[in-house]
Amino acid sequence: MSKKQNYYSDSTPEFTPKTLSFPDIPAYAYAADLAKELKSGNLDKAGALALYESMLTIREFEEMILKTRTGAYEALSDYEYRGPTHLSIGQEATAAGICSELGVADYITSTHRGHGESIAKGVAAIQAMDMTGLRRRCPECAELSGEALREAVMEDHVFRTIAELFGKEAGYGKGRGGGMHIADFRVGHLGANAIVGGGVPIATGAAMTLRLRDQRDRLVACFAGDGAYANGVVLESLNWAAQEQFTGPIAQHQFGLPIIYCICNNHFGMTGRAEGEVFGVDYLARRAAGFSLNNMHAEVVNGMNPLAVRDAIARARRLIQAGDGPVLLEFDTYRYYGHSLSDPRNEYRTRDEEARWRQVDPLPVFRKALLAAKAAGEKALAELEAKVAERNARAARRAADSPDPEPAEVIKYLYTDTRCDQVPAEFAKPRQFEEAPKIKRDEEDNVTCRDALKEALIEEMARDARVVCYGEDVADYGGAFKLTKGLLETFGRDRCFNTPISEACICGTAVGMAMTGYRPVAELMYMDFALMASDQIANQAGKWHYMVGGAVEVPLVYRVSVGGGKGYGGQHSQSLESVFCHIPGLRVVYPSNAYDAKGLLKTAIRDNNPVMFVESQLLYNEKSPTPAEEYLIPFGEAAIKRRGDDLTIVAWGPAVIDAVQAADQLAEAGASIEVIDLRTLVPLDETAIYESVRKTGRCLVVSQAVDIGSFSGEIVAKITAECFDWLDAPPLKIGAKNGIAPQAHSLEMAFLPSLDDIVEAARSLL
């Protein structure tokens, strides 16, 4: 590829009258049946029975939930179940059919009623494993062999699924996530999601990982219901997946995103009906026409027929292997029960409607097909049905009797204490297309904070091919603040690329990439925009390590800039670090100078937790000595910027500069001020704060965040609780006014805490 092709695209004015047309979308095209599938060799009798077993396992599991609620499930007649009850009874053919065409290494994401997909993914994987794989998955069954081993592993899968539903330590997420967040990373299940549509950008990010590794033999199947396809981040994800920079002339390599968006259209978002009520289209497959010239190969499939489902997935896989993804498939299915068991469903649907759908119930219909095609006899089917029911009953009893998590471990798995100290060999020598930009230093090694951050990115991207940088305008243009200029030319468009203006999808795809082995650095141009992505940051990035009992790590960095002090007004000036300090599971970092910015960003990229990395635009041009050689700054270690004995000032970000100036000014009047730069808010260096306050007896906490609800209040509370006997005055805090950032310069200067404000508050304490 030429440099022009690789880096840039252009356009030509063209205003000739024309009519735009769209490709047709096929619906219900499958015309075969089980007998024909067996005759053609597309499916053998064992495969047909395996498909039936998968559907049976799902149905038995979910009917257990239904019966347990009323005490009618005999094996659990004495067990009081509490937890979610979002059943997918009726949708088994969609889940089993899709997963029957997936390999163990393929990924799925699922929904809050995702028990079916979770069971189906595990069942299909276990059916496909050899003896070595089965023993590796379930070492406690290693003495078994043959079908006895496979059956033991299958029962273990059901047991761990039920145990998670019941909130037990033996569950897939050690009881931390429960049924709505169930995951099994050993077979590529990246998690069910209680946020409608919340898993769709995560799936899209996982497909990004597969694309970057050029793994055309693998794909992601993203399950989401019809209700999700009115959700903004879902539509953002479709647009993201269809970007022409993945397949067009500027692509580093032409490989469409390897993902199948599986719309499980059960006709009800919750209690609202999709068609005829809350949507303006008859089929959701039409959504694809808005994102791709090939309609994302959209198709409507009979989701009550597992053979039609697996046929559609098989064809979609071939498209993906040819590099022609993504694919969108709408599976027309039905759930026989309400949104939850508290929903009687009779207020918004009729018995006649349910009766019509019961006539195409996938289990009895497929059972008849098995008999008609002589794939199995009545005795064999009865034995299989009894085996599945007895397996579930044993697993359920065992799960109910298994230990609960220890209360003392209530926040275990909130963070991981690991980091990437050693890059795996396959990623240790990333390709570079051009020489990296040289960072300018003066004779005293001073560099700007902007260049220090750029140098950190260059060093980490050159160290580890898994580090990718993306966001709005970061590629050709170099970002709104020119911080990423040159990274595209150095590392190529696969590792530094522009994104749509889709903050939620930027942050959500980062979660999916991080879950599947990459280390994304995702940029949000302004911290204000993090509010648009708050679900993906708070409910997804921050929670998955905990909700799956430590089974996955989410190593990502969100770079967000704060524009306060530059006259940008209420929607581009907010210092929102306090908001994200309130979200357990996130690290929150806010450097005050170039030296710290470089060392902390490198630490953030190597940390295996999600990190909110806050950058003040006021500091981008500030210079300080910053070595060219590599160094890291540990999280949770504050810096003492001034030593003193009379008063402690605790600050972070640009407030540190004001605090130091205030200390110098007060020193002229004979006051000895100690200034602590926290550098990281989560984790917080409480020791440094307490030692200083116990020495000085007085404390002032300063930040540029709005004062009400600021993290400064948390620090004051900790000081009051831990240092009360040493205090000579009540600790004070200063922040921005409790209002909205104004545009007018005179008003903004009054809005933000000033040097004079800090000096005045300090004098009041002294």
Q: Please report which confidence band the pLDDT of residue 69 belongs to, taking 50, 70 and 90 as the band edges.
A: confident
C-alpha–C-alpha distance, residues 115 and 198, integer Å: 16
Whether residue 406 lies inside any domain: the answer is no
Q: Is the pLDDT of residue 4 over 60?
A: no
Q: Dihedral through CA 696, CA 700, CA 703, CA 706, nearest 10?
A: 160
C-alpha–C-alpha distance, residues 199 and 163, integer Å: 22
Whether residue 413 lies inside any domain: the answer is no
> Which among 483, 451, 444 has a CA at the least distance from the CA of 625?
444
445 Cβ contact list (under 8 Å, min separation 6): 625, 626, 627, 628
- Per DSSP, helices labelled H in 419-561 are 449-463, 487-491, 503-515, 534, 544-547
> Which among 533, 573, 606 has a CA at the least distance from the CA of 747?
573
Mean pLDDT (whole number) for 191-210: 96
Q: Please classify residue 13 by burial: count the beta carbons closer than 10 Å to its beta carbon, then call 0-12 exposed, 13-18 middle and 19+ buried.
A: exposed
Same domain, 376 and 477: no
Interior CA angle at 119 toward 163 and 324, to 5°?
140
Same domain, 151 and 291: yes
Same domain, 617 and 669: no
How do residues 336-359 score in pLDDT, each as one tens digit?
Answer: 998 888 888 888 889 999 999 999
How do residues 9-25 score in pLDDT, each as one tens digit?
Answer: 678 898 999 999 999 99
Residue 593 C-alpha from the chain's centroid: 30
Same domain, 89 and 192: yes
How do residues 204-249 score in pLDDT, each as one tens digit?
Answer: 999 999 999 999 999 999 999 999 999 999 999 999 999 999 999 9
Same domain, 429 and 397: no
Tokens of 450: 């902007």
Mean pLDDT (whole number) for 543-567: 96
C-alpha–C-alpha distance, residues 118 and 157, integer Å: 10
Kindly report the CATH number assigned to the domain that includes residue 382: 3.40.50.970
How do residues 376-426 score in pLDDT, each as one tens digit?
Answer: 999 999 999 999 999 999 999 999 999 999 999 999 999 999 999 999 999
Mean pLDDT (whole number) for 677-704: 98
Whether residue 28 lies inside any domain: the answer is no
How do residues 570-585 score in pLDDT, each as one tens digit?
Answer: 999 999 999 999 999 9
Q: Is the pLDDT of residue 6 over 70?
A: no
For the chain, the average pLDDT equals: 95
Q: Of 246-255, 269-278, 553-562, where does the model show the most confidence?
A: 553-562
Reduce the DSSP state of residue 198 to 3 states and report it: coil
Same domain, 597 and 686: no
Kindly report the CATH number assigned to the domain that includes residue 759: 3.40.50.920
Q: Is the pLDDT of residue 742 over 50?
A: yes
C-alpha–C-alpha distance, residues 265 and 357, integer Å: 13
pLDDT of residue 7: 62
Q: Please report which confidence band the pLDDT of residue 755 belongs to, taking 50, 70 and 90 as the band edges.
A: very high
Whether residue 583 lies inside any domain: the answer is yes
Q: Is the pLDDT of residue 729 over 50?
A: yes
pLDDT of residue 8: 66
Mean pLDDT (whole number) for 165-189: 95
Whether residue 634 lies inside any domain: the answer is no
Share of the chain above pLDDT 90, in %: 92
> Which among 568, 594, 590 has a CA at the least distance from the CA of 580?
590
Mean pLDDT (whole number) for 454-459: 98
The answer to whether the beta carbons of residues 329 and 316 sit under 8 Å apart is yes
**178, containing H or E segment:** none
Whether residue 100 lies inside any domain: the answer is yes
Same domain, 340 and 469: no
Same domain, 646 and 756: yes
When divided into structural domains, the chain yields a total of 3
Same domain, 603 and 710: no
Identity of the amino acid at 519: R
Whether residue 27 lies inside any domain: the answer is no
Domain hosting 281: range is: 34-401
Phi then psi for residue 88, to 5 deg, are -120, 25
pLDDT of residue 70: 85
C-alpha–C-alpha distance, residues 409 and 542, integer Å: 18
pLDDT of residue 3: 44
Residue 341 C-alpha from the chain's centroid: 28
**Residues pairing with 264 in the sheet:** 225, 331
Q: Please classify residue 253 by burial: count the beta carbons closer than 10 Å to its beta carbon, then call 0-12 exposed, 13-18 middle and 19+ buried.
A: middle
Q: Is the pLDDT of residue 507 over 50?
A: yes
Same domain, 263 and 233: yes
How do residues 611-665 score in pLDDT, each as one tens digit?
Answer: 999 999 999 999 999 999 999 999 999 999 999 999 999 999 999 999 999 999 9
The answer to whether the beta carbons of residues 222 and 203 sit under 8 Å apart is yes
Tokens of 429: 């020598």
Q: Is the pLDDT of residue 110 over 50?
A: yes
The strand pair at 680-682 and 639-642 is best described as unpaired
Phi then psi for residue 626, to 5 deg, are -140, 110
Whether residue 316 lies inside any domain: the answer is yes
pLDDT of residue 82: 84
Tokens of 552: 């996955």
Same domain, 298 and 253: yes
Q: Is the pLDDT of residue 758 over 80?
A: yes
Determine if the pTM surpasses 0.85.
yes
The answer to whether the beta carbons of residues 234 and 505 sit under 8 Å apart is no
Mean pLDDT (whole number) for 668-696: 98
Same domain, 81 and 218: yes
Residues belonging to the active site: 572
